[in-house]
Amino acid sequence: MVRAFHGHFSEKVGSSMSHEIYVFGSVCRGESTPTSDVDVLVVPFEVDSSQFPQSWSVYSPELLAEYFKAGRLFAWHLHLEAKCVYSSRSESFLTSLGPPAPYSTIADDIADLDALLNEATTELASGTENVIYELGIVYTAIRDLAMSVSWSLLGSPCFSADAPYRLPLDPPLPRDVYDQTMVARHASTRGSQVNFDPSITAKIVTHAPLENWVASLREAI
């Protein structure tokens, strides 16, 4: 399907493009669901990145090289999961980079994600009109926090949306509420519909012990 889509896309922008296309995420882990996206990464070399679909992630080779050199979490995600489905080169660019540097920014990542989570819950507590958007931010922050600490707590990185519930710690939200925040994220990014009352979900989220959960993550690592 991806190859066929790429072939159709190439006809539109020209056959002389120099770029690579990868898929990563749930489809590569065998965890895709009816609501899952196919996460697509494009590495452009000699083509205008604006010509690719907006839903695709476009990263310059220079930026990716910096991420690998710094051992960024996203670099490890790509290194461990990304599958090259199209390349104009004999060796794919990500393969040529080799393994990223050791993941060493966990403390900074936790601090940044904790700040993002606090900002979203503060907005929800204030009665913001952007409830769906802020619930989606809560999902992203909780998921990425769990991914960050999975290195220490699980012995290997976990990039699944289920990461918060695979850690050996009490989960930050009831599972059905967490799933609702994931639906909110999809709604805010794709325009899909929600099948729950956002105001009730927001109330549960703002009263959840999220600060204690983040503190337990810091203590555990």
Give the model confidence (pLDDT) of 122-181 as tens digits: 999 999 999 999 999 999 999 999 999 999 999 889 999 999 999 999 999 999 999 999
Tally of domains within the chain: 2
The stretch 89-101 carries a mean pLDDT of 95
Of 65, 80, 97, which residue sits at a domain end? 97
Residue 12 pLDDT? 42
Neighbouring CB atoms inside 10 A of 143's CB total 21
The CA distances from residue 103 to 125, 150, 163, 177, 213, in Å, are 34, 11, 17, 30, 22
The stretch 6-14 carries a mean pLDDT of 44
Instruction: Tell me the residue range of the domain where 208 lies.
Output: 106-220
Residue 39 pLDDT? 87
The stretch 79-86 carries a mean pLDDT of 95
CATH of the domain at 186: 1.20.120
CB-CB contact of 120 with 137 (8 Å):
yes
Alpha-carbon distance of 85 to 143, in angstroms, equals 27
CATH of the domain at 69: 3.30.460.10
pLDDT band for 119, please (50, 70, 90 cuts): very high
Two tokens, residue 159: 């990039």
pLDDT at 191 over 90: no
At 50, which amino acid appears? S
Of 97, 117, 139, which residue sits at a domain end? 97
Share of the chain above pLDDT 90, in %: 73
The stretch 9-26 carries a mean pLDDT of 68
Is residue 133 domain-shared with residue 187, that is, in the same domain? yes
Is residue 73 domain-shared with residue 142, that is, in the same domain? no
Is residue 114 domain-shared with residue 212, that is, in the same domain? yes
Alpha-carbon distance of 122 to 94, in angstroms, equals 39
Is residue 20 domain-shared with residue 73, that is, in the same domain? yes
Single out the residue of 92, 99, 121, 108 nearest to residue 201, CA to CA: 121
Is residue 118 domain-shared with residue 197, that is, in the same domain? yes
Two tokens, residue 102: 């050791």
Please give the angle made by the CA atoms of 103, 108 and 111, to the nearest 5 degrees.
135
* pTM of this structure: 0.84
Residue 157 pLDDT? 92
Is residue 216 domain-shared with residue 110, that is, in the same domain? yes
pLDDT band for 13, please (50, 70, 90 cuts): very low
Single out the residue of 145, 149, 139 nearest to residue 112, CA to CA: 145
